[in-house]
Chain A
Amino acid sequence: GENVEQHPSTLSVQEGDSAVIKCTYSDSASNYFPWYKQELGKRPQLIIDIRSNVGEKKDQRIAVTLNKTAKHFSLHITETQPEDSAVYFCAAYPLQGAQKLVFGQGTRLTINP
């Protein structure tokens, strides 16, 4: 089945700098890759997603890139702000097998003022 590895587990950056979180997946048939943000004490919320027919997608300060050959995808946050502090989860949706989202372990991002 699908396996998703996420790195790093914790990340600390200065306000205004960029943050990058990387995920790798094992099932080459996976075709949907969402990213969820979970602030402390709150529910996970979808912030951006990408499908396998696209290499990059941007939404204001966040972007996701996908490398199907290498089977990895990354979340990029530019001009980081204190409200970006949260736990971020990547996930992959395999077309075969159980067809359910498989999540990474999460990255705790801290923005230092």
Chain B
Amino acid sequence: ETGVTQTPRHLVMGMTNKKSLKCEQHLGHNAMYWYKQSAKKPLELMFVYSLEERVENNSVPSRFSPECPNSSHLFLHLHTLQPEDSALYLCASSQSHRSNSPLHFGNGTRLTVT
């Protein structure tokens, strides 16, 4: 049990599809994050939510749409993606988005856009 669960583990989608990634944390944390991990690049922060309110949007294209219905769940809605969006998408949580508290990551969703 990782504390942060992501589904699906793998996703293949066409450029015209619409899909959603799901993340759930069982740690009682108040902040949740979406990161993108591409080959040979640092982890890229996409979105930060604190108590269901978005506090950071890192110039992410609008084809990525986050949703945080409560402090335990986070979604990333995908539509009309490009092949360069293929990557590992990691969800994470922490006690607070303001404090320098450790991040707890999920296992990620490996996304392939064809």
Contacts and interface: CB of A to CB of B under 8 A. Distances in A.
A100 B56 contact: yes
A43 to B, nearest CB: 4
Given A100-B48, A100-B56, A43 B2 contact: yes
Contacts, number: 45
B42 A105 contact: yes
Contact of A106 (B42, B90, B98): B42
Contact of A34 (B48, B102, B107): B102
B54 to A, nearest CB: 13
Given A98-B56, A99-B98, A46 B41 contact: no
Nearest to B40: A105
Q: Which residue, of A31, A43, A89, A100, has the highest number of chain B Cβ atoms within 10 A?
A: A43
Nearest to B102: A46
A100 B105 CA distance: 15
B66 interface: no
B41 A105 contact: yes
Contacts of B4: 43
A43 B43 contact: no
Q: Which residue, of A32, A99, A102, has the highest number of chain B Cβ atoms within 10 A?
A: A99
A106 B90 CA distance: 16
Contacts of A106: 42
Interface string A19-48: 000000000000110101000001111100
A46 B103 contact: yes
B35 to A, nearest CB: 9
A93 interface: yes
Interface string A74-113: 0000000000000001000100001111111110000000
9 contacts: A43-B105, A43-B106, A46-B103, A89-B42, A100-B45, A100-B97, A101-B45, A102-B42, A103-B42
Given A93-B100, A105-B41, 12 more contacts: A36-B105, A43-B2, A43-B106, A43-B108, A45-B105, A46-B102, A46-B104, A89-B43, A99-B97, A100-B97, A101-B45, A101-B103
